[in-house]
Amino acid sequence: MTRETSPTVRRRRLASELRRLRERAHMTIEQVAERLGWSATKVSRIETSRVGVALRDVGLLLDLYAVEGAKREELLDLARDAQKKGWWHAFGDIPTEYAAYIGLEAEAASMRSFAPQVVPGLLQTEAYARAIIRSGLVISPQGEVERRVEVRMERQRLLCQDDALRLWAILDEAAIRRDIGGGEVMRPQLEHLLQLTDHPNVTIQVLPFSAGAHPATNGAFEILEFPEPADPDVVFVENLTGSLYIERETDIYQYAMIFDHLRARAADPDETRRLIALAAGH
């Protein structure tokens, strides 16, 4: 089974192309807005992919930038693809920020992930995911919890498709020691991690407590890399009140260097298996 393309990534690529065309035309956002009778905010939100863009509006922008021929058709096709719905829309009203993340994840070729507190979603068992999601949705109905669990399990198909996501996950030792849901949940989760270490596209390392202070003590982050050169890397950082997507090249480079530092400080894959097995009570 091959993965579906992501409208989120298509919209991001379209936004980048429209921004590049405006700059090539030596026009400011305000000038574009004035010429088309739009607000500057609308143009800015289109160019940062914060909103979807109607096919008619793409056509108006291409007219303004004098884009014709094959390039015009290519961008209109891209706009059509960006309007399609991803598989996650079948699960109902998923928060916008979460849907945006799923869309990026769905088309990433590889991901580097640092998890300081809990096992990352792509590596969770259903029971562990349910315990984590329930703890974060304490006032939500059980149906909402189960819907989120279904989405998380569906996301994990990325690891077993023909063109499977390459995942390198560094887990702080706290993530394998923290008792989530009791032994009946935690032991199967640790066994699942051991099984995943046999997957050729999955690398797991544990950063032991003995490693002491490190550059990522501020929290979890993920670096997503895409197969198309036109789609630059993205760093995803999540906190209690929202999410942050970091796309500036210098910032991404810093996160990549931090990940390399963590990788060097973490236990190697064989020692990681021993640490996980020990935590599982083997």
Residue range 215-265, pLDDT digits in tens: 888 889 999 999 888 788 999 998 766 778 888 899 999 999 999 999 999
At residue 197, what are phi and psi to the nearest 5 degrees? -65, -15
CA distance 189 to 185: 6
Residues of the chain with CATH 1.10.260.40: 7-82
Q: Angle CA(192)–CA(196)–CA(199) in degrees, nearest 5?
A: 155
CA distance 54 to 44: 15
pLDDT at 231: 86
pTM above 0.85, yes or no: no
pLDDT at 2: 47
Report residues of the chain scoring pLDDT below 50. Answer: 1-3
Interacting residues of 263 by C-beta distance below 8 A, sequence separation 6+: 168, 170, 205
Residue 48 contacts residue 38 (beta carbons within 8 Å): no
- Tokens representing residue 153 in the block: 């399990």
pLDDT at 139: 65
Residue 167 contacts residue 113 (beta carbons within 8 Å): yes
CATH number of the structural domain 107-123+156-279 = 3.30.870.10
| DSSP 8-class letter at 139 | T
DSSP string of 236-281?
EEE-SS-EEEE--HHHHHHHHHHHHHHHHHSPPHHHHHHHHHHHTT
pLDDT at 243: 78
Place of tokens 């991404």: 252
CA distance 247 to 110: 16
Options 1.10.3720.10, 3.40.250.10, 3.20.19.10, 1.10.260.40; CATH for 7-82 is 1.10.260.40
Residue 12 contacts residue 112 (beta carbons within 8 Å): no
